[in-house]
Chains A and B, each alone.
Chain A
Amino acid sequence: MNIAEKRQSPAFYVLIIVLIIMSIGPILLMLTTSLKLNVEIMSDTSSLLFMPTFDNYETVLCNVLWYEPDHVDYCDPSFARSLGNSLFIGLVSTLITLVIGCMAAYSLVRFRFMGRGTVSLTTLMMRMVPPAVLLVPVFGIWTFQYGLDGTYTGIILVYVAMNLPFVIWILQSFIVQVPIQLEEAAKMDGANPLQIFFLVVLPVIKPGLAAAAIFTFRVAWNEFLLANALLNRDTRTVPVTIVNSLTEYDIDWGVIMATGMLLAVPPIIFTFVASKQIITGMTAGAVKG
């Protein structure tokens, strides 16, 4: 058995290398393109050897740089501004979702007045609702009834609502594992429910919080359709800016790829820092039902 396995080894490692190249190849291609000048991108000879340049990134970030890049004739502030918007919207909606979701999950587990079955069915139902389905009602209600079109509040409200079911559900599975004795001990010492929740339960479920935070931030950071319908020029997020700068012909690939790279960097960092939590969050849906 051992011998047989060893004999397969070379083919096995070749397969692994091919898979790695396939999965990160496109991302590396985007990175190298963003470091090239348009002359090089358009030239007929594609070469792996080129002088990396940060020109494209300077064009994207021109109005927040502390110096003025020479090659930028006209500084378009929309990219840098949308980057700031994306960051703000992502962080605030993640924070709110976590606080609200945590409280709800905690009360669902500890005070059990609704079955776990009901909660997981609701979560599944909410998971299935595509953003495209929310487009018409959210546009109508936010514009005509709430008066929240174009505001940060409006889009944050949408993202919080979209993420809550998943967050409640995943946190629930972590809170179930917190020993009740821990909370009873705190109660004996005279802690009120809020203190127990914030000082005893929250620190124990940190890994669950990390997974929930990453998934929430990812949705808010990557979402396009609803952001496109609700936000205006000043509050636009990066995905909307990217799509708006795509035209049928004559695309400035270097600059677009630099923007795309900037949009891709935070998720890539999360992936390398917390891949374990991400996989937990991903598999929880299928393996535990």
Chain B
Amino acid sequence: MNSLNLNRFTPYMFLAPAGIVLTIALLYPIGYMVYASFLNWNPSQLISEAEWVGLRNYTNLLADAAFIESFFVTLKFAFCVVILEMLVGVGLALLLDRNIRGMSVLRTIFILPMMIAPIVVGLMWRYMYHPTVGVFNRTLKDWGFEAIPWLSDSTWSLISIIIADVWQWTPFIFILSLAALQSLPKSVLEAARIDGASAWQQVVSIKIPLMMPVLIVTLLLRLIDAFKVLEVILVMTNGGPGLSTEILALRISRTASEFRELGVAAAMSNLLLILLLVLTLGMFLYNKIVETKKAKLRAAVEEG
């Protein structure tokens, strides 16, 4: 009797700690944020003292030129890094997809930039971009070129943070697309070779289409992560000069800590969350569609 009872409650017992932690430290805060986005609330007030302002935070945001600018900076940053990283990462994977010794060492070296703290990555790049002691400007001067205002010019600063992000995250795309390449069915490639397809034809009409499902998921994963980048930019430029590199995540943190407008920051967080939600659901739906297609295909093959 006792053991039967135990068995019935075991699953819940095992799940309970995780459920409790997720509820009090993740779900509740997110719900709280949605509520706070309708308040005029500053950090020295209790939330119960904050004034209810309805949708005012949202309407103010949509009319706020600084917010709109930082929204577009975020979009520009995210799309630039994702496109560059996809091109370079997939290109490198196609080039390096051979059986060479030491491939695992190479992969190990490539994941280093991703493992290191974003704060440290920002630090390294800020040092390299330094106007006088940085390695880039020193080299440029040694070769007789003009020094470039990497972080102090509004056009260059966006390019600079894009370069740093490409350095850090291209290996992610590279490793994923290499894994996808190496799991392609050998027989198809063999058949293409026998039919006399050139290396370029193999890439364009066989490898890329077969890799497509993985590539699209990779792209969406990276796009979602690109909206979360914060520390690297915080250390390198802190959003400046002007608003040229102030991405949304940074703007949220500044609105909360410098301008002390928690309600507005919550409204911004909400908008960012909705944007990411759309992307995530898109990815999930895409996965589902691909899976059903595959299942249908399999069923068709089995029947025939």
Contact = CB atoms under 8 A, between A and B. Distances in A.
Does A pair with B?
Answer: yes
Interface of A: 1, 5, 12, 15-16, 19-20, 22-24, 26-27, 29-30, 33, 41-42, 46, 99-101, 103-104, 106-108, 110-111, 113, 121, 124-141, 144, 157-158, 160-162, 164-165, 168, 192-193, 197, 218, 221-222, 224-225, 229, 239, 242-243, 246, 253, 256-257, 260, 263-264, 267-268, 270-272, 275-276, 278-279, 282-283, 285-287, 289
A286 B221 contact: yes
Interface stretch (B64-72, B102-110, B154-162, B200-208): B102-110
Most buried by A among B47, B95, B119: B119
A242 B18 contact: no
Instruction: Bin the interface of chain B by size.
Output: 35 or more
A110 B14 CA distance: 11
21 contacts: A26-B113, A103-B15, A104-B14, A104-B18, A110-B11, A111-B14, A124-B283, A132-B250, A134-B26, A136-B36, A138-B29, A157-B25, A161-B24, A222-B117, A224-B230, A239-B231, A263-B119, A263-B120, A267-B115, A286-B218, A289-B291
Given A132-B269, A224-B117, 11 more contacts: A12-B95, A30-B123, A111-B10, A128-B279, A130-B230, A132-B252, A144-B46, A224-B231, A263-B120, A268-B116, A272-B108
A198 to B, nearest CB: 12
B176 interface: yes
A222 B32 CA distance: 26
A286 B279 CA distance: 15
A239 B234 CA distance: 12
Contact of A103 (B18, B43, B273): B18
B29 A141 contact: yes
B32 A131 contact: no
Contact of A141 (B28, B109, B111, B119): B28
Interface string B210-233: 000010011001001001101100
Interface in B75-111: 92, 95-96, 98, 104, 106-111
A221 B249 contact: no
A100 B18 contact: yes
A46 B128 CA distance: 13
Given A41-B133, A218-B115, A286-B221, A24 B109 contact: yes
Contacts of A275: 104, 107-108, 111
